[in-house]
């Protein structure tokens, strides 16, 4: 199939912005490579084991067989233009998932027919709910030993009850007997011919298949749709034929409205059921017209302002950056207006006007130039300076800033040095480049040793970036052992009056800010700043903005032991000053003084904990639980699975170093695990003394 050329899409109903999300090793990249092949975008199916995939293009990805960075590709299927983002499944790279979810409208969520709904599957599903993303589920790996459509489908229904799962296809056979799927809409048997599965063969349902089983799933599909559709319900209750076009249109309405999640099945590796998922994206996933309004705020007034897809003024969001020493490649989702090569846009963060040199269609690491792009699209930009992830690019005459992308704070750090002192400057510039590309990496310099401290989301995250320094930047480095990044919180509730008096020139300036500080329970909101100023009508907006900014930034600095603060709610109660003797910077200084007063009353040390999920044969569960309990783990549950057990527990991150090497020894190589950050908990006195080197 010859690929169409890429130009500006005038009919926005033909665009689909989708992501592939799932737990690690569920088959995201394998499915994506089939999408590209069947669309005609590639002429050979990429294979992870052979290291020739299009979407996993980094050396680290190909050598490890996992996705590390999200990659985007544009291709046509039927009459639609798909922008597809393949995301990582490992929790260390959650930022890549977060920024992808920020700009897509629909997601294909993949579940393994063997492992079912795993920890990271739940994590990405919840992340997608935050952005109101429509979903299609694909139960993959139906050809594997232990595969069960019925079991995994029930898991999806039970664990994600905020949206109704509805079966659209069921497999014919399981494990080595998998031969095709039953299309429950048309009640046809679909087989996938040729060696590459490119020929979709539609046949009548074989007589030997259990009719009761098929009818049960079709009836469940119809009854579920009828719950949300009066028109379908009337026909269903009267046992009349439901027109196919009506059924499809109602399913689409409910998928776009996040009421239904159609469920498909098959095996991406065996080329069974893939085209059905591609068709479903076309038929049921939202187009940009289905989500025409997006939140932002006016740069001039600071008030909330909506961006409408019908606006003529251009507005787009930079959601990803591939850093380079010469010219960064920026990934942008467009929301309104038209952008052409040579256009001038405005960056509200930097207050700079920027000339757009090149607009590109994205195809993993390769790109194709286009002259113009409209709203609802995903493209690349090259040659745009001083612009980073989360920035809005908009019309200078109507400046608006879209909601950016929120990223988690690093939880683990490592000291990195060059083996040769002559490479010191090159190492620093290379580390800064990696941090510019990945917002969940941060670089600091140790005050006493002068060492570079790189912080990230986990052992694998730091290990891969160290390897990138050696492979991509040709640097010989040495690094210390990973260490967790602790946090501090306040010991007690207090109300502090921050005071600052400072002479600037011949004028003595002063300000007082009254702030209420409260330690909070473990939550997703690490720092919460609230403005509840009693004398607000007498306080200039610039003072208030300065106080809020200083409070936000000041609470993210170190506590009594130098660790960042967390789990604090701070409320500004009063700002006192005079028009001629108070300026913004003095207000900010008074806030910082108030923060220090609160910290001096005492802080508690907190450590990061993880939610750990382990799949293990029953015979080795005892050894694994014993190992974990010796490392301060709290076992939450042990769920039975066919021939396996699923262990769910919470463990301090500091106890998890080296666990990936210990688990194969404990289980004879038959167990697997996944973990995700789960907030912070207070450190016991015994563990605190051990960290601080205090003898008991």
For the stretch 347-372, what's the b/e string if a residue is b when 16 or more beta carbons lie within 10 angstroms of its beta carbon? Answer: bbeeeeebebebbbbbbbeebeebee
| Percentage of the residues of the chain whose pLDDT score is greater than 70 | 92
Residue 618: Cβ within 10 Å count: 12
Residue 271: Cβ within 10 Å count: 20
* pLDDT tops 50 at residue 58: no
In the DSSP assignment, the letter for residue 272 is B
348-398: per-residue pLDDT in tens? 999 999 999 999 887 766 778 888 999 999 898 988 888 988 899 999 888
For residue 227, what are the β-bridge partners? none
Instruction: Note the pLDDT of residue 67.
Output: 44
204-247: per-residue pLDDT in tens? 998 888 888 899 999 999 999 999 999 999 999 998 999 999 99
Tokens 């506590």 sit on residue = 559
CA distances from 606 to 407, 489, 490 (A): 20, 7, 11
Handedness of CA 264, 268, 274, 278 (dihedral sign): positive
State the Cα–Cα distance between residues 277 and 190, nearest whole angstrom. Answer: 13
Ramachandran area for residue 466 (φ above 0: left; ψ -120 to 50: alpha; else beta): alpha
In the DSSP assignment, the letter for residue 563 is P
Residues 512-518, mean pLDDT to the nearest whole number? 93
* pLDDT tops 50 at residue 63: no
Instruction: Note the pLDDT of residue 51.
Output: 53
Contact at 8 Å (CB) between 570 and 555? yes
Tokens representing 460 are 């694998």
Q: How confident is the model at residue 126 (pLDDT cuts 50, 70, 90)?
A: confident
* pLDDT tops 60 at residue 694: no
- Return mean pLDDT, the chain: 86
Residues 634-659, mean pLDDT to the nearest whole number? 85
Tokens 């009459």 sit on residue = 79
State the Cα–Cα distance between residues 300 and 544, nearest whole angstrom. Answer: 16
**580 three-state secondary structure:** coil
What does the longest C-alpha to C-alpha distance in the chain come to? 97
Residues 283-305, mean pLDDT to the nearest whole number? 88
State the Cα–Cα distance between residues 209 and 671, nearest whole angstrom. Answer: 35
| Percentage of the residues of the chain whose pLDDT score is greater than 90 | 38
> Among candidates 472, 477, 471, which has minimal Cα distance to 419?
477
Instruction: Note the pLDDT of residue 695.
Output: 42
Instruction: Choose between 273 and 420: higher pLDDT.
Output: 273
Lowest mean pLDDT, pick from 4-18, 28-42, 246-260: 4-18
Q: How confident is the model at residue 157 (pLDDT cuts 50, 70, 90)?
A: very high
Contact at 8 Å (CB) between 680 and 609? yes
CA distances from 483 to 124, 162, 415, 456 (A): 26, 38, 9, 10
45 CB-near residues (< 8 Å, 6+ apart): 33, 34, 37, 196, 271
286 CB-near residues (< 8 Å, 6+ apart): 16, 105, 106, 134, 255, 256
Instruction: Note the pLDDT of residue 462.
Output: 87
Lowest mean pLDDT, pick from 69-73, 317-321, 491-495: 69-73
Tokens 């007589």 sit on residue = 207
Instruction: Choose between 326 and 315: higher pLDDT.
Output: 315
Residues 641-669, mean pLDDT to the nearest whole number? 84
In the DSSP assignment, the letter for residue 195 is T
State the Cα–Cα distance between residues 206 and 210, nearest whole angstrom. Answer: 9
Instruction: Note the pLDDT of residue 192.
Output: 94
For Cα atoms 565, 571, 575, give the angle at the middle one, nearest 5 degrees.
Answer: 120
Residues 469-487, mean pLDDT to the nearest whole number? 86
Residues 161-175, mean pLDDT to the nearest whole number? 91
Instruction: Note the pLDDT of residue 64.
Output: 45
Instruction: Note the pLDDT of residue 246.
Output: 95
Instruction: Note the pLDDT of residue 195.
Output: 83
- DSSP codes of every residue in 226-245: HHH-HHHHHHHHTTPPPPHH
Q: How confident is the model at residue 569 (pLDDT cuts 50, 70, 90)?
A: very high
Tokens 């098929």 sit on residue = 214
Residue 284 CA, distance from chain mean position: 23
**374 three-state secondary structure:** coil
> Among candidates 491, 526, 521, 485, which has minimal Cα distance to 609?
485
E strand intervals along 29-186: 71-77, 80-86, 106-112, 134-140, 164-167, 169-172, 180-183
Tokens representing 563 are 């660790």
State the Cα–Cα distance between residues 696 and 693, nearest whole angstrom. Answer: 9
State the Cα–Cα distance between residues 462 and 460, nearest whole angstrom. Answer: 5
Contact at 8 Å (CB) between 192 and 180? yes
Instruction: Note the pLDDT of residue 593.
Output: 95
Alpha helices in 292-400 (DSSP H): none
Instruction: Choose between 471 and 571: higher pLDDT.
Output: 571
Tokens representing 168 are 């659209």
* pLDDT tops 70 at residue 408: yes
Instruction: Choose between 522 and 235: higher pLDDT.
Output: 235
State the Cα–Cα distance between residues 549 and 529, nearest whole angstrom. Answer: 9
Q: What is the dihedral of CA 217, 267, 100, 609, to 10 degrees?
A: 90
Most trustworthy range by pLDDT among 90-99, 325-334, 349-358: 349-358
583-642: per-residue pLDDT in tens? 999 999 999 999 999 999 999 999 888 888 888 888 888 999 999 999 899 999 888 877
State the Cα–Cα distance between residues 426 and 514, nearest whole angstrom. Answer: 46
* pLDDT tops 90 at residue 282: yes
Instruction: Note the pLDDT of residue 167.
Output: 96
Instruction: Note the pLDDT of residue 271.
Output: 94
């Amino acid at each position: 199939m010859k690929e169409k050329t890429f130009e500006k899409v005038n009919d926005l109903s033909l665009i689909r912005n989708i992501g592939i999300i799932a737990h690690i090793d569920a088959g995201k990249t394998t499915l994506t490579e089939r999408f590209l092949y069947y669309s005609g975008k590639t002429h050979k199916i990429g294979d992870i084991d052979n290291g020739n995939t299009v979407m996993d293009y980094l050396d680290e990805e190909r050598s490890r067989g996992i996705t590390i960075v999200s990659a985007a590709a544009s291709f046509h299927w039927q009459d639609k233009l798909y922008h597809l983002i393949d995301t990582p499944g490992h929790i260390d790279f959650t930022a890549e998932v977060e920024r992808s979810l920020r700009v897509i409208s629909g997601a294909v969520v993949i579940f393994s027919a063997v492992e079912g709904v795993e920890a990271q599957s739940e994590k990405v599903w919840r992340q997608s709910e935050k952005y109101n993303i429509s979903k299609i589920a694909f139960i993959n790996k139906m050809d594997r030993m232990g595969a069960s459509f019925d079991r995994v489908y029930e898991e999806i229904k039970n664990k994600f009850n905020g949206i109704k799962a509805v079966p659209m296809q069921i497999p014919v056979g399981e494990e080595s007997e998998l031969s095709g799927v039953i299309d429950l809409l048309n009640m046809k048997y679909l087989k996938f011919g040729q060696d590459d599965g490119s020929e979709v063969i539609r046949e009548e349902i074989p007589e030997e298949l259990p009719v009761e089983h098929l009818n049960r799933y079709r009836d469940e599909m119809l009854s579920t749709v009828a719950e949300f559709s009066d028109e379908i319900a009337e026909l269903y209750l009267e046992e009349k034929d439901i027109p196919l076009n009506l059924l499809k249109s109602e399913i689409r309405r409910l998928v776009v409205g996040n009421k239904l999640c159609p469920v498909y099945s098959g095996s991406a590796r065996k080329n069974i059921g893939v085209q059905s998922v591609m068709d479903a994206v076309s038929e049921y996933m939202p187009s940009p017209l289905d989500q025409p309004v997006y939140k932002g705020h006016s740069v001039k007034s600071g008030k909330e302002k909506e961006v409408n897809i019908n606006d003529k003024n251009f507005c787009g969001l930079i959601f990803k950056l591939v850093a380079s020493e010469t010219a960064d490649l920026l990934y942008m989702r467009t929301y309104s207006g038209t952008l052409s090569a040579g256009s001038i846009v405005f960056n509200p963060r930097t207050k700079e006007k920027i000339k757009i040199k090149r607009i590109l269609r994205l195809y993993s690491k390769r790109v194709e130039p286009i002259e113009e792009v409209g709203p609802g699209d995903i493209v690349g930009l090259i040659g745009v300076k001083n612009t980073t992830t989360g920035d809005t690019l908009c019309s200078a005459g109507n400046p608006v800033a879209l909601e950016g992308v929120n990223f988690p704070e690093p939880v683990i750090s490592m000291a990195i040095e060059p083996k040769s002192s002559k490479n010191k400057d090159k190492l620093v510039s290379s580390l800064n480049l990696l941090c510019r590309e990945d917002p969940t990496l941060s670089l600091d310099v140790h005050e006493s040793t002068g060492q570079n401290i790189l912080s990230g989301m986990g052992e694998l995250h730091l290990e891969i970036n160290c390897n990138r320094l050696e492979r991509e930047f040709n640097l010989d480095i040495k690094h210390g052992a990973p260490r967790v990044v602790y946090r501090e919180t306040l010991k007690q509730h207090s109300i502090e009056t921050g005071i600052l008096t400072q002479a600037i020139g011949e004028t003595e300036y002063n300000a007082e800010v009254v702030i209420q500080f409260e330690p909070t329970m473990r939550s997703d909101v690490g720092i919460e700043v609230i403005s509840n100023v009693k004398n607000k009508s007498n306080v200039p907006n610039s003072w208030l903005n300065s106080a809020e900014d200083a409070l936000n930034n000041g609470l993210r600095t170190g506590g009594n032991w130098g660790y960042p603060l967390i789990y604090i709610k701070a409320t500004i109660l009063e700002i006192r000053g005079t028009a001629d003797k108070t300026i913004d910077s003095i207000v900010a200084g008074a806030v910082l003084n108030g923060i220090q007063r609160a910290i001096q009353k005492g802080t508690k040390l907190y450590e990061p904990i993880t939610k750990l999920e382990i799949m293990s044969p029953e015979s080795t569960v005892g050894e694994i639980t014993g190992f974990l309990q010796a490392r301060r783990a709290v076992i939450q549950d042990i769920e039975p699975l066919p021939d396996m057990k699923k262990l769910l527990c919470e463990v301090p991150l500091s106890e998890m170093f080296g666990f990936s090497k210990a688990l194969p020894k404990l289980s004879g190589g038959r167990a697997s695990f996944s973990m995700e950050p789960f907030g912070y908990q207070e450190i016991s006195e015994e563990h605190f003394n051990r960290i601080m080197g205090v003898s008991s």
